[in-house]
Structure 1
Amino acid sequence: MVEILILYYSRYGSTTDMANQIARGVEEVPGATAKIRTVPEVSPVCQATEDSIPASGHPYATMDDLKNCDGLALGSPTHFGNMAAPLKYFLDSTSGLWFSGALTGKPAGVFTATSSMHGGQETTLITMLLPLLHHGMVLVGIPSREQALTDTVSGGTPYGPSRHTGRDDDGMTEDEKKLCRVFGARLANVALALKNAGAR
């Protein structure tokens, strides 16, 4: 068995919807299971504290969730062409895992949602990959031969799934859902292959 951690931040639920679709893709692969975790808000004024369990939604991630996973899908809304501050804040606290090499050799990929077509989907995905490279993770995207990448008129990139919510969000398109599931399945299959090969 492999466990894929789907770690994300979402303010209005668009990235949460993607995380759930990616989890479906992971669990379509025999021998793979998905664990979904989120991160708390951060305060721009001072160090704020949150309850250890959120009032609703997925539980907050811990360092042990990262340490013990076999693969990682990292998701954030696009904020000015970059990941949101709460996710960056969480990643900035992973120095201990970097020193120990706990994530080295594990497969990882990224996903994002944005409210405008030109809001920085691809720059967000690329900058989210950088800390994963520093951790020594094996990057996983979506191959260009995936038909939904050609068919989509909203979200979707080779760097990872993306979603365009627009002003009046009517929910994910079928192509966006498919790309999330394909990505989840690919991440799970790579994790299984690496684990079976003893590559880490």
Structure 2
Amino acid sequence: MTEILVLYYSTHGATRQMAQLIARGIESVNDATARIRTVPRVSTVCEASEPTIPDAGAPYVELKDLQECAALALGSPTRFGNMAAPMKYFWDSTIAEWLQGTLIGKPASVFTSSGTLHGGNESTLLTMMLPLLHHGMIIVGTPYSENALMSTTSGGTPYGPSHWAGTESNKPVSDAERQLCIATGKRLAEIALKLAGDVQ
């Protein structure tokens, strides 16, 4: 099986739900499986603010997850047009993997959620791509052949799936957003398998 890492950070649960939908899309492809991981919160006064093992939900990511994955879907809520600090903190710790070329040639996609419709989703997606490009990854976007991208009145971009959570973080993932998440997972898995030479 080709393992695809779905790595996310979520505060109110929307980004986690998107990660699960992307994983569903990945696992709809024969010979592909999703490995879902998250990152711990960080404190402004010290490094550790979470237990070593989370009480519930996905396990915390380890650097070996980067080594063992064939592709990556990366998700974070929008924080002023950028990824959240806990996710940035994790990527800042991957210098050894960058030096070793661990992620070179692997495909990657990005996804995000924000409280406001125009709250920086697209800039967050673009800035999340930057460390992945430095790692030598191949960025996989969302093509306009996905009908939901043309009809969505909520989230969804050609850079990757997005979700409009509302200022109270209580808006459910819309049908269009759900379709785009699943389609992204499926596309990422298919490309990973092609790059691995498993599909003609």
Equivalences for residues 83-94 of structure 1 within 5 A:
83-94=83-94
Looking at structure 2, the residues matched to 93 and 48 of structure 1 have their Cα atoms a distance apart, in angstroms, of 14
Q: How far off is 1:185 after superposition?
A: 0.3
Superimposed CA distance per residue, residues 58-115 of structure 1 (whole angstroms, 9 cap, x where no aligned partner): 1000000111100000000000000000000000000110000010000001000001
- The residue matched to 2:33 in structure 1 has which SS? strand
The match for 2:195 is: 194
- Cα deviations across residues 105-133 of structure 1 (Å, max 9, x unaligned)? 00001000001011000000000000000
Partner of 1:40: 40
Are 1:104 and 2:104 counterparts? yes
SS at match of 1:78: strand
What is the alpha-carbon root mean square deviation over aligned residues?
Answer: 1.3
Take 1:37 and 1:43, find their aligned partners in 2: how far apart are those partners?
Answer: 20
SS of residue paired to 1:5:
strand
CA–CA separation in structure 2 for the residues paired with 1:51 and 1:167: 29
Tell me the secondary structure at the aligned position of residue 83 of structure 2.
Answer: coil
- Once superposed, which parts of structure 1, at least 4 consecutive aligned residues long, lie more than 3 Å away? none
Deviation at 1:170, TM superposition (A): 3.5
Shift of 1:50: 2.8
SS at match of 2:79: coil
Partner of 2:182: 181
Aligned position for 2:62: 62
- Gap regions ≥5 residues in structure 2: none
1:16 is the counterpart of 2:16: yes
Give the letter aligned to residue 75 of structure 1. Answer: G
Q: TM-score, normalised by structure 2?
A: 0.96
Q: Distance in 2 between matches of 1:89 and 1:170?
A: 28
Q: Output the CA distance in 2 between the equivalents of 1:187 and 1:13.
A: 23
Q: Taking structure 1 as the reference length, what is the TM-score of the superposition?
A: 0.96
Partner secondary structure for residue 91 of structure 1: helix
Shift of 1:166: 1.0
Q: List runs of 5+ in structure 1 lacking aligned partners.
A: none
Q: Give the AA of the match of 2:196.
A: K
- Matching residue's letter, 2:126: I
Size of the aligned set, in residue pairs, is 198
